[in-house]
Amino acid sequence: ETGVTQTPRHLVMGMTNKKSLKCEQHLGHNAMYWYKQSAKKPLELMFVYSLEERVENNSVPSRFSPECPNSSHLFLHLHTLQPEDSALYLCASSQGQGAGNTIYFGEGSWLTVV
């Protein structure tokens, strides 16, 4: 139990579907992140939110749309995805950004695009 909860744990969606991944952190942290982990590839940072403002968007395609309504919740809205988007999507949080601010990850959401 890391204090970062992701739902759903598994999602299968067609390329024309619209779905959302949800993340909630119970740690009182101010920064939240979305990462993508594909098979045999390093972890990829997608988005960073600090105090509910997006501070980082690492050239992620527009078919991925993040939303951070408050400091405890983070969503990743998915639409018209491609099969190559199938991966483990990880939400994470940290108290702040900078020296010694450890990032804590959720269990991840396994996404399969068919």
Partner 1 sequence: DAKTTQPTSMDCAEGRAANLPCNHSTISGNEYVYWYRQIHSQGPQYIIHGLKNNETNEMASLIITEDRKSSTLILPHATLRDTAVYYCIVIEGSNFGNEKLTFGTGTRLTIIP
> Which residues form the interface with partner 1 (CB under 8 A)?
2, 4, 6, 31, 33, 35, 42-45, 48, 50, 55-56, 58, 88, 90, 92, 94, 96-108, 110
Encoding tokens for residue 113?
């695009």
- Least Å distance between CB 51 and partner 1? 13
CB neighbour class for 34 (10 Å; exposed up to 12, middle 13-18, buried from 19): buried
Say which residues have a Cβ less than 8 Å from residue 55's Cβ, sequence separation at least 6: 48, 49, 97
Q: In the complex with partner 1, which residue's Cβ is closer, 50 or 81?
A: 50
Shortest Å, Cβ 46 to partner 1: 10
The least CB distance from residue 16 to partner 1, in Å, is 27
Q: Minimum distance from CB of 24 to partner 1 (Å)?
A: 14
Task: Choose between 89 and 113: whose C-beta lies nearer to partner 1.
Answer: 89
